[in-house]
Structure 1
Amino acid sequence: MSVGKKLNLSFTVLIVLLAVSVGSSIMNLKNIENDVGEAMDSRLEQLILIENIRYDVAMQALHTRSMILEPEEDIHRENLIAVAADLDGNLDELQGYLASEEMRSYWDQANAPNNDFNEAMPDIIADVENGNIEEATEIVNTTVQDINTAMLDAAEEMEIYQTGQMDNIDSEISSAIVTAQVISFVVLGASILIGIGLMFYVRRSITAPLVSVMDVARKFGDGDLSAEDIAVKSKDELGQLAAIFNASKNNTRT
């Protein structure tokens, strides 16, 4: 390999190592940013859904009692059915975010009473339509009230859990940063070691032979032909130059 190629290879390797080191740091920071963004978005979406569930439960209770108080107004029944459907949708959407056993447990605690309400709602509507207001009121004051309390309690537990998880994001960020720093130091350390290896390679294959050639050339210029031949260890430009000096010295001496 020629001297130029050796130097080009050394500089290319150093540039690649620097690029890898910088790229690794940038990639790690980007991954941290993406992970934090995804975690925050997920927690916020769940908190919004939990708040929607709490609102739907309250509106469900309101429309149920309004339907009993004003049985002739169909709008209350329609609103009740719409809110119940919206509550089902929010619970289903929240289920798609469940990733921990705690949230699955809280979700079950909210979904079970919601199913109970969906089963009781047709009976309440039928009682109101048939004029059985007392029976409908009894269901609302017992079964429905217990259902709403259970759902609100579950929603509160989910909110507390999600808020706590958002607080934990700070520690997760710190851990991710430490990991990124460790990776960066490892890559940097490897780059330094390889750079040192390249330095010794250049010194052994270029600098040392060049010094030998210069030493013999200096003696040759002073008329000293007693110096030993330069050891030719390569076929690159330095090796060829050493061979030329050896031949020139030996021809002059003879």
Structure 2
Amino acid sequence: MKFSVSKKMWAGFLGLVLLLIVSGVLNYLTIPDIKQRYTYLIDDRLENVITLEQLATNQNEISNDLRGYLLYKQVNYLKDRRELLGNFNMSIERLAANFDDETAQALLQEIKVAAANYEELTAGAISAFHNGDNDEALRQAGKAEPYQSLISEKAKELINYQREQVETTQKQLDKRLQVTGFFILGVIVAATVISIVIATVISRSITRPVRKVTTSLKQLASGDFSMEPLRIKNRDEIGEMADAFNEMAADLRAIIGSTRQTAHELAAQAEELSASSEENLAASEMVAEIAEKNLISSDMQTNLVTESVSAMSEMTEGINQITNHNDAMLTSSEQVTLLVEDGSALMKEVTDQMSTISLSIQESAHVISQLAEHSENIRQVTHLITDIAEQTNLLALNAAIEAARAGEHGKGFAVVADEVRNLAEQSKQSATNIGRMIETIINNVALAVGSTEAGTEKIQEGLGITVRTSRVFIEIEGAVTEVKEKVQSVSAAILQIQQMTEQVQEGAAKVQELAAQSAAEAQSTSAATEEQLASNEEISSSAQSLSEAAEKLQSEMARFTI
């Protein structure tokens, strides 16, 4: 199967473009997925953890408001309790909408059932308290305490479960980022290696044969036809050009050898003709006596000139054949020039594609940097929550001190202060955990940005390689142009030889005509002695011209080495 230069370049470039397209498509598909997973991690998982902590806090505050109302009989505790119950139920509904797995739904359902039982018992306690039955109110409140503990316990379990889900999602994202980074890096390395291989293969398959042809053409231009035939194994346009060159060189050697031999024979025949003419001129007074000899000599001259004319005709046909081969080789060199130009255009397209992929990776790095900024904002919020928890803890401590000073009347308030302090400690601990998770996310995002920047550097290296490959194509194009110029020089030399051959052929034809005329006149020497003398003078002059032309042809043929 013929594998032309065009097919070689198309195969190499299509493979490289395919790798670049795969890299670009994978990058395009992976980055939105990673962004979505990070958004889900931050907006859903962490939001659920915060909502659960708020739910546990609300439940503790509801319990504290019940105690406060039973102890101090202030209506504002009931008002706060109703507001907290509304927030608690809204948190339950929000979590139910966000949870998408059975484990979380089951834990949330247990919290809902416990909350309903707690609400029912505490409502009964409040009703009994309104009716003045304090013992029944305390009994109902005591029965509600286990449900309060159950709600706190299940909320903690659900918070821990959500944190485990956050860690699992984080590990999956880390693995996905690592795999994506390795794959993109691998594609870039493969594209770089393939670019180098393509440049090397094309350079060796085109530049070396073209240099061989150029060297041989220089030998031909200098007149040296003794070179060995070109041995080029390429089965493409360059191989065809080399075959055409070998055929042309072989034909030129054969024609020049034949022409040189013919020139020697023609010179010898011209000398013989000149000598014969001089003898005829010197013996013109004795033409009648030697008419028969002169006739025989004229016949021999006619035959020799006819043979020379025939040889010159064959040489003219050979030169025409060489001209055709030379034209074919010129056409092949023009085709190679066009193919090299196409290759340069394809390399430009590859450079543009790699620039586009570089821009895409830079945009991906920008998106990941924005995710890092969002994570930093969340970390600031957690710091704020930590500060609020510390201040709340300090206030609870102060309240406990004041309750201790109040003595027996401050016991209920001391219980509330202790619960508030516990809640503040829990909020601080949760904010600290969230801060650690956000710190991990920021570090992973930084790693992703570094990987993307490394990919950008590799693509820039690939761009440099494609630029160097384009320079190689420019050098190849210059070499092919030089080959074309050398072929044109050879064409000019062949045209010059053809013109000289035509001149010699015209002289030989004229001599043939004169020899025939001399033979005819020899038959009637007795009646045209004067005419014979004039004819012999013309023959002598023509023979001298033929001898000079033969010497000139020999001089021209001496320039060539076969």
Flag whether TM exceeds 0.5 (same fold): yes
Cα distance, 1:58 vs. partner? Answer: 1.0
Contact 2:218–2:486 (8 Å) recurs in 1 = no
Contact 2:96–2:108 (8 Å) recurs in 1 = yes
Q: What's the % identity of the aligned pairs?
A: 18
Instruction: Deviation per CA, 1:183-230: give whole Å up to 9, x if none.
Output: 224422542464256426733775355334423333234323466634
Partner of 2:450: none
Instruction: Deviation per CA, 1:57-115: give whole Å up to 9, x if none.
Output: 111111122233344x3212211111111111122222333243332222222122123
User: How does 1:7-156 map onto structure 2 within 5 Å?
Assistant: 32=34, 35-36=37-38, 38-71=40-73, 73-142=74-143, 144-156=144-156
Helix, strand or coil for the counterpart of 1:107? helix
Contact 1:206–1:238 (8 Å) recurs in 2 = no
Contact 1:225–1:249 (8 Å) recurs in 2 = no
Instruction: Name whichever of 24-33 and 224-233 sits farther off.
Output: 24-33
Uncovered stretches (5+) of structure 1, i.e. residues with no partner = none
Partner of 2:384: none
Contact 2:34–2:173 (8 Å) recurs in 1 = yes
CA distance in 1, matches of 2:101, 2:47: 15
Contact 1:68–1:128 (8 Å) recurs in 2 = yes
Q: 1:252 aligns with which of 482, 493, 506?
A: 493
Q: Is 1:224 equivalent to 2:224 in the alignment?
A: yes
Q: Which amino acid aligns with 2:244?
A: D
Cα distance, 1:15 vs. partner? Answer: 9.4
Helix, strand or coil for the counterpart of 2:98? coil
Instruction: Deviation per CA, 1:163-201: give whole Å up to 9, x if none.
Output: 334444563344123311342244225424642564267
CA distance in 2, matches of 1:94, 1:243: 80
- Greater RCO between the two (CA within 8 Å, min separation 6)? 1
Partner of 2:195: 195
Contact 1:77–1:125 (8 Å) recurs in 2 = no
Q: Is 1:161 equivalent to 2:161 in the alignment?
A: yes
Q: Which is higher, the Rg of structure 1 or of structure 2? A: 2
CA distance in 2, matches of 1:247, 1:182: 55
Q: Which amino acid aligns with 2:335?
A: K
Partner of 1:171: 171
Cα distance, 1:126 vs. partner? Answer: 3.1
Instruction: Deviation per CA, 1:133-179: give whole Å up to 9, x if none.
Output: 3333222211x212211111101112222333444456334412331
User: How does 1:234-253 map onto structure 2 within 5 Å?
Assistant: 235-237=335-337, 241=481, 245-246=486-487, 248-249=489-490, 252-253=493-494
CA distance in 2, matches of 1:238, 1:249: 22
CA distance in 1, matches of 2:151, 2:333: 85
Instruction: Name whichever of 182-191 and 81-90 sits farther off.
Output: 182-191
Q: Which amino acid aligns with 1:175?
A: K
| Cα distance, 1:211–1:25 mapped onto 2, change above 3 Å | farther
Contact 2:221–2:486 (8 Å) recurs in 1 = no
CA distance in 2, matches of 1:101, 1:90: 18
Contact 1:46–1:162 (8 Å) recurs in 2 = yes
Partner of 1:184: 184
Q: Which amino acid aligns with 1:157?
A: E
Contact 1:209–1:238 (8 Å) recurs in 2 = no
CA distance in 2, matches of 1:207, 1:47: 68
Partner of 2:350: none
| Cα distance, 1:132–1:107 mapped onto 2, change above 3 Å | same
Contact 2:58–2:87 (8 Å) recurs in 1 = yes
Q: Which amino acid aligns with 2:114?
A: P
Instruction: Name whichever of 26-35 and 88-97 sits farther off.
Output: 26-35
| Cα distance, 1:85–1:170 mapped onto 2, change above 3 Å | closer
Q: Which amino acid aligns with 1:219?
A: Q
Please report the RMSD computed on the Cα atoms of aligned residues, expressed in angstroms. Answer: 4.2
Instruction: Name whichever of 29-38 and 51-60 sits farther off.
Output: 29-38
- How many residues in Structure 1 have an aligned counterpart in Structure 2? 246
Helix, strand or coil for the counterpart of 1:141? helix
Helix, strand or coil for the counterpart of 2:244? coil
Uncovered stretches (5+) of structure 2, i.e. residues with no partner = 230-242, 246-328, 340-479, 498-562
